[in-house]
Structure 1
């Protein structure tokens, strides 16, 4: 804490010295009545008084003097708010997206579509086995029908031989 107190005391002493110097200058008459330091006053004198004042522009005042009428700024016309509002409303309204959307993709899928997808491979194997089983059954029936045909043909031949 002592360094902080020491720094504050130093600052206080510097302020006192500056105030004493200011008082002594005032007593000697070096400082003008307006309280501006000499440096600032010298800079203003170098720049000149003309640059110090800005050009007078009259926006809300209508002067009667011809010389002042030249400095009057022309009346500004307010911008059309209606056009800006229309542009904002047009930008805010959503444009139809029907052109981009494919109706086939929007159609809801059947509830069991994922089951069919997962079972498709197993169904292919079963389909092959089923076709083989059907082919075997047909062959067995054909063998059975051949035997019946052979028996029928044999019976017909026997019947023909009896009539001779």
Structure 2
């Protein structure tokens, strides 16, 4: 039964501590000059700041007293939702993505399409240089004066045509 005695001693110590806290708290209240506890003081301030009485608003209740008839809220009218629903239904309709099928987009590309794309700019530069070189060769032949202009142009055109035919194959 030694445990019961120690529990009683702890209870007495706890009571003494609580009494000391109450005395300390009462001393603070007496020093400030207030006789009311802080909780009552706060509630009193709220009442003083709110001196006018709030009128109730009756939304679902019809009061029998005539003086309260002014506080009845007007009945809310439901909105017409037909227009909103029509807009939403129209927005939900799927639009046809493609009306005509483009066969070029569906056909697979040739395996070397990327090489042609990358090399095409360089080929354009080379084509221009080739045309300049051909023009210089024609001028040199004309300057030498061995052949007349018509035969030189025909020979160079034939050579150019043969080179184009060999590139296509």
TM over 0.5: no
TM range (shorter): 0.3 to 0.5
Q: Who wins on radius of gyration, i.e. which is larger? A: 1
TM-score (normalizing by structure 2): 0.41
| TM-score calculated relative to the size of structure 1 | 0.42
